[in-house]
Amino acid sequence: MTVRIAPSILTADFANLEHELGRIATADLVHVDVMDNHFVPNLTFGQRMVESLQRVSPLPLDIHLMIDDPDRWAPGYAEAGAYSVTFHAEAVADAVSLARRLRDIGARAGIAVKPGTPIEPYLELLHEFDQVLVMTVEPGFGGQSFIESTMPKLVALRAAVAATGLDIWLQVDGGITERSIAIAAEAGADTFVAGSSVFNVGEPHMQIALLRAAASAHVH
């Protein structure tokens, strides 16, 4: 199974984002947290920022929409050239229709669930998505601690994905360190968002290598 590392620029130096993107060029994706101060109590990037990042990023953009009304706003991010657009199950009105629209535009379609949101209602809809994101912290702020009680969702997702035979990525986001990435990989994740543990400790390329090795040793 392929391990993918997606550093979150939420903890990068916003004044030097092009330089920061260059520092994580050995990763697989750039994770961009879009927050609207409504769905979550924080305000970050919008579509214009994503368009600017798209022009200078050496890696594909993995957009995570922590916003209200993604049915209205998500397609714009796909049209801006994002590789992957993930919206929240708790905020969307029609997840299947939105996922199909994102795919039609040319982006990978992802659905995210908060730590307290059950995954079971979505297991029969997996074929509609390219990625499922299991939040391992409460969405809104970086630097939180990994919530290990979310791991049974990944176990259930991995079994369900295996049954479909489809290439559906299972992503985790929140509190990812060398220790927690091994736990998440063992549970079934293959795509890992890491912010503080990449940008705030040592050289980002070295941290990416350490995280990749830790995950690779535990993926099935």
33 is catalytic: yes
Which residues share a beta bridge with 88?
A: 112
- Candidates 33, 62, 130, 190; catalytic one: 33
Q: Give yes or no for a contact between 187 and 159, defined as CB atoms under 8 angstroms apart.
A: no
Backbone angles phi, psi at 67, to 5 degrees: -140, 155
Q: Closest Cα partner for 62 from 106, 6, 24?
A: 6
Output phi, psi for 46, to 5 deg.
Answer: -130, -170
Exactly one of 36, 62, 173, 190 is catalytic; which is it? 173
Nearest to 131 by CA among 9, 218, 31: 31
Report, as residue numbers or ranges, the catalytic residues. Answer: 33, 173
